[in-house]
Structure 1
């Protein structure tokens, strides 16, 4: 089996300088919107087929496929000291049998291995013309001076036909219609048919055309049009279009249970498209299957159907899937996930075996919530979550954290360090709001010292372990009561003072009704004083 070990991308769309390593079988790329998941699939397909959006790349070169920051740098440099035109490079590092002819060191890593190098670069044949051109101080990238170089690591030219690795790109969510027919599914069906079947379709369509024009009603309509001399001095009539060889493709539509494909539900469309694509002869002969967010428009039950389908039909292939779905990630295998954030990647296998095993068994897989957020605040339980959310509103014009892409996630205190190890790797800004458990030095400073050098991580806990009357300030409840008035809290909780004569009695109530007291504060319009460590965590996350 031939497989892709590594993909390198320079200056292509989202990525100025990026690389990702793939597993042998299944790869599940998880990341937020605009992280570049689609670009990864697109780059693999481009390097193997030479096509972009189904069209040959040499006819599709535009400024839009170059990394925007690289283009800006080039345009700015032209004002003072011109620099070389930026190039696009996509490299696939391969392994497997029968690819020795692709082996060499013609790659950015300068390693002796098999692979493909796909470049979009300046064509030296235009050197004189380009030198004159830049004197005009252009405002955009002169893409007309580019060429495509598609070679192996052995420096020999390649084509999609000569590359032994074949790719099938499946994007079931895209709807492109032409005369009421979905182009994607029509192409799949067309490519599934044999030549004699295509000829039969064309002949049958021609018979329909003849029947249409011989219909008496149509003859009458055409005569009426012809009698109207104001239209033209030549004969004008209505006829079925047969002007191109495969005109039937543009007029016939695919039906499901006699309902036009474009009129069935989006979820059913996804299932049908994926089924057809996976059964397609091109996919069956492909070594690599690329799937773009297969979960789009699908219910939980249909997602289950889809994942079984992928597992069944692609067991002998390398699969690269992009997804936002916790379910898809869990169902297909958490150990196959590649997390993508800020142009950096990591797999769970990069964590310790203990941490990796923990996340693979974690219900709901909250790591994806942290990865997909802009920033995150980790708390110990539902009461901490509610208080942090309310305190955040005070600081942020009554907006909840999630409105700014900040996810407040309730996790068990013992697992904070596991989440922070992921945050440290992907440079995600994460604050932890936690209890000091009556020993700040041991439970905070010592426990989290491995993250002392991480500027993107803050562990917030109160340094105070004793309060008024030597009350233990070990958890949220006594910390909250330490800074808030008893009478005001009784009013917030709708409790009678006769039953709760002092703060200790009220703390006991709060500890026995953790979610209840926090929810009452969350829905109340009454202001309260936020414990200092929570206040500091929110200020930091908002920076």
Structure 2
């Protein structure tokens, strides 16, 4: 069996949410304050015997209207559904039999924790709310709600009670505490002192583990002819006999010292009626307390307290799993054995470096497969944890536009269509340790290349709106693969999608192809062209660009937008930088070719003509020489433009085209990012951030 879902009502940041779980590992991710810890707390309120069940007024969800509060006292309700699952045994069904809500072969059972005001106090509560209403006629909703919760805290919270119901809540069948004890809810919080729980056998948990694994070769034997109890008793008896001889040795060493000690007892009168003495005996179980956990390093034995936190955490978890194995052993614990061991870990990355996080997850999956643990819940902020986790195992908590908690299931946004299966495979390959940052950020900018990724944060900083202030991550998806990723965030298409504001910055990339008489049979491919060639020869070519349809499709979408260069003026990101900054020499990097030619073009002032600019194409020392094919193409297209382009616009287009053809994408992007980062803040008045970039940054940061 396994916990298939949880329904949380009115608890902390959960107003009314139902969250589905996997039969096995569940990795719960999300940005800060998305509700990861609250979800674990909700599970514990139902299943952990060690968790305090009484709540405070701050545990109620505060996204509640005044009308709701004056009609009924607030109540917290948390329901878990237990389903048959991939593995099941008779003990499972016996444990949940009183809580069944579905009697089919694939059974279901429910447990519900409620924290509520008993009915006999409800009328008094309503009267208090009425008084608040009467005395606060001009109060706002927020003021009324605030007063209501203060009244609840002062007058009613002490009257609240809690129950755990089995089955349907309407039946008011209180769950048997002994049956609840059969769930082994082991929780490792993010701030844990593992050294305190590790250093010696005097610790309760470590002592229990050592006790269980004492004589393990006998306890785990499959020899049916072996009388295990007799064998273990014989070993214990032998240990007592051996230890008694050691105690006799101690007793002899204490003879004279004992006389000195007892002389003080005689002097104080302590021995008038009874004479104090010393003797002792010990058992193998008691002696376990003297065992200390040590680690060996380079041949030296050192206490575990001297070990690194990360390694001690792994050791602690391994001992905890050993304890869970012991707890589930019916032969050892009888009717007190655990039926459903579950492990809950907050932020395993807290003390583990990336490669150890990966190894740790593989270790946990092994323990799931051999039933040491039946179900695992992990909360994490780690991109390394998510990159090592199957997409189907990830549950993403996030807040919608009103600030309410929501849940997304990454794998469920893809259906069985060919396109979706292709997208699923692509996303799985893509979400490595750096790219999976998109799952944790509150807002995302998706870009096509390295230059945009490196420069977007610099532009935002120069515009006085740093991306980190808005929890925005810039993700380079390496091309026009937006459709694969938008499935994860398109909440209008899938209820399982994650609500995040997403900006897609894509290049205009105008193209053309040669026409033929029968256009339906046209097999000619579209080829890149310059913006000033777009529509220039409509009789010979047909034209299109990449983003127009996408911009139109998402222009009214509630959380996704596309931005691109100006229609019929823009081409690529680098082209637009030079187009809007035709005199900015910060754009000239060491790795680009034709540096001197572009610098001369940038030196041209407004008094120089378009012909002056065209004359610099190719940086020709001998004007009689022919231009290269590409430069000739630029020249002819510019000269063929009509009056809708000014000479100044044409000059800027020549510079932008030559700049684009002179750069290499990778190294130039790094050099450009460095140059702009070093100088842009001081020279912002001389640099123009392209309009589509400004608009994208304004939208995502709003």
Are 2:147 and 1:150 equivalent residues in the alignment? no
Map 1:34-113 → 2, pairs under 5 A: 34-49=33-48, 51=49, 54-55=50-51, 57-58=52-53, 60-70=54-64, 82-96=70-84, 98=93, 99-104=96-101, 113=108
TM-score (norm 1): 0.76
Call closer, same or farther: CA 1:442–1:475 in 2, change over 3 Å. closer
CA distance in 2, matches of 1:308, 1:144: 46
Deviation at 1:310, TM superposition (A): 0.9
Deviation at 1:67, TM superposition (A): 2.3
Q: Which runs of 5+ in 2 are unaligned?
A: 133-146, 215-235, 261-286, 330-338, 400-404, 415-420, 491-496, 512-530, 532-543, 602-654
CA distance in 2, matches of 1:395, 1:90: 46
Kept after mapping to 2: 8 A contact 1:349/1:356: yes
Aligned pair count reads 485
Deviation at 1:158, TM superposition (A): 0.9
RMSD (Å), alpha carbons: 4.2
CA distance in 1, matches of 2:61, 2:449: 42
Select between 164-173 and 314-323 the one with higher mean Cα deviation: 164-173
Kept after mapping to 1: 8 A contact 2:183/2:341: yes
Are 2:335 and 1:347 equivalent residues in the alignment? no
Kept after mapping to 2: 8 A contact 1:168/1:283: no
The corresponding residue for 1:186 is 203
CA distance in 2, matches of 1:277, 1:484: 62
Deviations 1:86-127 (A, max 9, x none): 11111111211524432238xxxxxx9521111111123445
Call closer, same or farther: CA 1:68–1:276 in 2, change over 3 Å. farther
Call closer, same or farther: CA 1:451–1:100 in 2, change over 3 Å. farther
The corresponding residue for 2:362 is 308
Are 2:159 and 1:162 equivalent residues in the alignment? no
Kept after mapping to 2: 8 A contact 1:339/1:346: yes
Select between 483-492 and 27-36 the one with higher mean Cα deviation: 483-492
Call closer, same or farther: CA 1:350–1:491 in 2, change over 3 Å. closer
Deviation at 1:45, TM superposition (A): 2.6
Select between 303-312 and 141-150 the one with higher mean Cα deviation: 303-312
Q: Which runs of 5+ in 1 are unaligned?
A: 106-111, 221-247, 467-472
Kept after mapping to 1: 8 A contact 2:73/2:122: no
CA distance in 2, matches of 1:499, 1:478: 13
Deviation at 1:48, TM superposition (A): 2.0
Alignment match of 1:393 (pick from 450, 461, 467):
461
Map 1:519-538 → 2, pairs under 5 A: 519-525=674-680, 526-527=683-684, 528-538=687-697
The 3-state SS of whatever aligns with 1:23 is coil
Deviation at 1:172, TM superposition (A): 5.9
RCO higher in 1 or 2 (8 Å CA, sep ≥ 6)? Answer: 1
Call closer, same or farther: CA 1:250–1:196 in 2, change over 3 Å. closer
CA distance in 1, matches of 2:691, 2:100: 61
CA distance in 2, matches of 1:166, 1:48: 7
Map 1:350-365 → 2, pairs under 5 A: 350-352=412-414, 353-362=421-430, 364=432
Select between 177-186 and 24-33 the one with higher mean Cα deviation: 177-186
Kept after mapping to 2: 8 A contact 1:492/1:521: no
Map 1:262-273 → 2, pairs under 5 A: 262-273=305-316
Alignment match of 1:275 (pick from 318, 325, 345):
318
CA distance in 2, matches of 1:506, 1:483: 12
TM-score (norm 2): 0.60
**Greater gyration radius:** 2
